[in-house]
């Protein structure tokens, strides 16, 4: 394992080094605007399997994609229903993961509000598979140093950009093909702000097509995204098991 600090003088070179490693099938701990994540290139299934093994997490749990921008999300094949377009416009770059229809399944996407991370994503072709850099069931890591006690110790590379400015994992929202919106996990963006932005004309109730996390069964019919994978927050009271950063 190698640790590289990011400075104003070397940020471009560090991004290039990390991009080369990920493109060759390596695994890297990277900073984001919320918490630190552990990344694998989507073209390397073995790298993703290694990430899952390092976290000690169930293999049926999803690993979200961080994207350089909305163009990269579309290029990956995601469909953005109208509510998703509004949420992306309101909160990207930022701490919102959107679970979207994509090639007949669902994928989670987020554009981070972190300039260095977006430069890395662009250098990797636009997207990376990234999950929080902590062992399954443990709190997310807010610094590179915190990752070294578990997943970071066995990664190929750890990028240190100081403390994560957010410190709380992203809010996760599913937007189905029929434009129905379900909040799957409380996070950095308050539920009220999500509901207001998703609606064309102000906040909507669960009856109008936006589901509150407490309004009924929270697991999507596909079984892909589990809402119990969120951080413990005042809103959710749940402990992290697996979290997109």
| Domain limits, the chain | 2-211
The superfamily in CATH containing domain 2-211 is DHBP synthase (3.90.870.10)
What the block records as the tokens of 221 is 């019919």
List, for residues 23-79, the tens digit of each pLDDT value.
Answer: 999 999 999 999 999 999 999 999 999 999 999 988 888 899 999 999 999 999 999
> pTM higher than 0.85 for the full model?
no
Strand ordering across the sheet containing 28-30: 2-5, 157-160, 28-30, 37-40, 127-132, 65-67, 105-110, 96-102, 171-175, 181-185, 210-211
Dist CA 181 CA 199 (whole Å): 10
């Amino acid at each position: 394992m190698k640790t590289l600090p990011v400075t104003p003088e070397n940020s471009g070179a560090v991004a290039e080094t990390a991009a080369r490693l990920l493109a060759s099938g390596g695994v890297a701990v990277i900073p984001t605007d919320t918490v630190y994540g552990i990344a694998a290139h989507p073209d390397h299934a073995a790298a993703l399997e290694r990430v899952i093994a390092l976290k000690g997490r169930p293999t049926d749990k999803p690993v979200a994609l961080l994207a350089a921008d909305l163009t990269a999300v579309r290029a990956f094949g995601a469909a953005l229903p109208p509510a998703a377009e509004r949420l992306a416009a309101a909160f990207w770059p930022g701490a919102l993961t959107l679970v979207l229809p994509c090639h007949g399944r669902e994928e989670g996407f987020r554009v981070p509000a972190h300039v260095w991370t977006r430069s890395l994503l662009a250098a990797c072709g636009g997207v990376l598979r990234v999950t929080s850099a902590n062992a399954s069931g443990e709190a997310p890591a807010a610094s590179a140093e915190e990752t070294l006690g578990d997943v970071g110790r066995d990664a190929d590379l750890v990028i240190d950009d100081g403390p994560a400015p957010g410190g709380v994992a992203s809010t996760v929202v599913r937007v189905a093909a029929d434009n129905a919106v379900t909040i799957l996990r409380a996070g950095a963006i308050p539920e009220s702000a999500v509901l207001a932005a998703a609606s064309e004309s102000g906040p909507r109730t669960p009856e109008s097509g936006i589901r509150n996390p407490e309004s009924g069964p929270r697991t999507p019919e596909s079984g892909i995204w589990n809402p119990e994978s969120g951080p413990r927050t005042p809103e959710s009271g749940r402990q992290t098991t697996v979290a997109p950063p």
